[in-house]
Amino acid sequence: MTEPIMTYIWTFILAVMPISEIRGSIIYGLSQVDHNFLNILFIYVLSVIANFLPVPFILLAFRPIIKWLKKTKLLGKFATWLEARTHRKAGDISRKSSKAAAVAIYIFVSIPFPTTGAWTGSMIAGLLDMRAKYALPAVLLGIMTSGAIMTLLVTGALNLGSFGEWLTH
């Protein structure tokens, strides 16, 4: 076991980062501590808080960044393509109901696969012009669900049989 404070610092850093997010932070954090209830709970809560920290900033900043990028020569076509693709993939769900879009964002963020975390979910919400009152709770609940799934997998509480053995050994 490593020094506990360093474990918590690295867990926090991994949770804030866009690639590892909560998936990586929980795997790392729980691999460094004994699996008792308080350690598991602390790693989970720390990871959720750290993973949620950048979300409001992403929601506020991503839309203006895309608008600015659309005006540039170098990345204008990419920004236009990204915006059009997001609206095309979302279909009518984002135009018809903010609540339905929030449920879709929740489901997207809660799936603990690479590129389906809080950063990407927040960017999608920003591109869809979702209001913060719908996007923030959807992303937070998605982070909490993803974190719970990862915690159950890493601690072995959710047994996947031989497929999941590599997670617990």
Residue 62's nearest CA partner among 126, 144, 112, 137 is 126
The DSSP secondary structure of 135-161, one letter per residue, reads HHHHHHHHHHHHHHHHHHHHHTSS--G
24-81 pLDDT, tens per residue? 999 999 999 988 899 999 999 999 999 999 999 999 999 999 999 999 999 999 999 9
Q: Is the pLDDT of residue 10 over 60?
A: yes
Helix (H, G, I), strand (E, B) or coil at 1: coil
Instruction: Report the alpha-carbon distance of residue 96 to residue 101 in Å, rounded.
Output: 9
Residue 147's nearest CA partner among 33, 32, 57, 40 is 40
Instruction: Report the alpha-carbon distance of residue 128 to residue 126 in Å, rounded.
Output: 5
Q: Output the pLDDT for position 86.
A: 87
- The pTM (predicted TM-score) of the whole model is 0.86
134-147 pLDDT, tens per residue? 999 999 999 999 99
Instruction: Report the alpha-carbon distance of residue 113 to residue 76 in Å, rounded.
Output: 29
Nearest 5 degrees, angle CA 25-CA 26-CA 27?
95
